[in-house]
Amino acid sequence: GENGGAKGYLVGEENKGLMYMFTMMNQARHAVGIQGYAIAERAYQQAVAYARERIQGKPIGVKAGESLAIINHPDIRRILMTMRSQVEAMRALACVSAAAFDRGEAHEDPEKRAYYQRRGELLTPIVKGWSTELGVDIASLGIQVHGGMGFIEETGAAQHYRDARIAPIYEGTTGIQAGDLIGRKFIRDGGQGLRELLGDMKAVLEQISGKDHSEMKDIKAALEHAIQSVEAAVGFLLKVDDPRVPAAASVDFLMLMGYACGTWVLAQSALAAQAKLAAGEVEEAFYRTKITTVLFYCHHIQPKTVSHLQALKHSQDSLILSESQL
């Protein structure tokens, strides 16, 4: 204290404080990533329930007869599937990240512990940044399903949006997560963790390549495109000379990685579902729904890796105008 008498105690090893702090921060950031997809899940559940009870409009092409619940309208179904597929991707990726940290703590092989620790650390800024950004988007879609009713307080849909909006800000903004991913988790370790992740993605791609089902061919193509987008982004970032460009590209890189990792984890879930169907599992509807959800993600969401790659390659555009011109 100011008048003396205070004692300081060394906690842990000297000069290891920053490393200890990041252990706490990784846990906190992972938890906020879970918050992002949890709010998105609640927004989806509420939107589905409302769409089943809100009666408005007749089927397309039918002039007579009774009006139907809006869940029968194609555009509402598109919105709901957009919400559902991304929630499943976020949840799966968060589980993969958490499992990596568990194995990094408990695996008997020291080399495997280091491998899984790198994996968990690599995925943490993606889980935090990507999931919280999508949480905002999905909560907004939930309002859209409710229409004008969603904009007022009676339904509670707007509450999900407000709750989701803080998640991309605290425990490090999306820009901070992106800088961490591209700086500490990619450039600083020479890309080792990312190369390992790409290796695992390609292993799943090889598994899918042996499947003859038409659904698996589409999933294979989507995962292949996702991997190509990641590799193209990495190739671009390693060649740039201006140190400002990776910083300007970092959020697009994070979002690209999120959508690519989402494709990877959902492809694994489709493989598992297909194996269950082949084994004659009784919950056939559940597993077929899982595959349908993965296909929607592959057809409608995975292509966003391409748009983020395009933006990333032109990230220097944001550096052209001077401060006074902005």
* Count of positions (residues) in the chain: 326
**What pLDDT is stored for residue 65 in this prediction?**
79
Cα–Cα distance, 282 to 274 (Å, whole number): 13
18 falls in which pLDDT band (50, 70, 90)?
Answer: confident
**Are 238 and 249 spatial neighbours (Cβ–Cβ below 8 Å)?**
no
**What pLDDT is stored for residue 1 in this prediction?**
55
**Are 39 and 162 spatial neighbours (Cβ–Cβ below 8 Å)?**
no
**What pLDDT is stored for residue 17 in this prediction?**
84
- If you average pLDDT over residues 285-294, what whole number do you get? 96
- The position carrying tokens 């989701």 is 164
pTM, to two decimals: 0.92
The structure tokens listed for 18 are: 């920053």
Cα atoms in the Cβ-side hemisphere of radius 13 Å centred on 48: 11
171 annotated active-site = yes
- The position carrying tokens 């879930």 is 269
Torsion of CA 86, 91, 97, 99, to 10 degrees: -150
pLDDT at position 184 over 80: yes
Question: 3-class DSSP state for residue 108?
Answer: coil
**What pLDDT is stored for residue 11 in this prediction?**
87
- The position carrying tokens 């329930």 is 49
Q: What are the tens digits of pLDDT across the range 34-93?
A: 999 999 999 999 999 999 999 998 888 787 778 899 999 999 999 999 999 999 999 999
- If you average pLDDT over residues 259-274, what whole number do you get? 97
Which of 2-6, 86-90, 208-212, 318-322 has the least mean pLDDT? 2-6
Q: Which of 88, 105, 171, 323 is catalytic?
A: 171
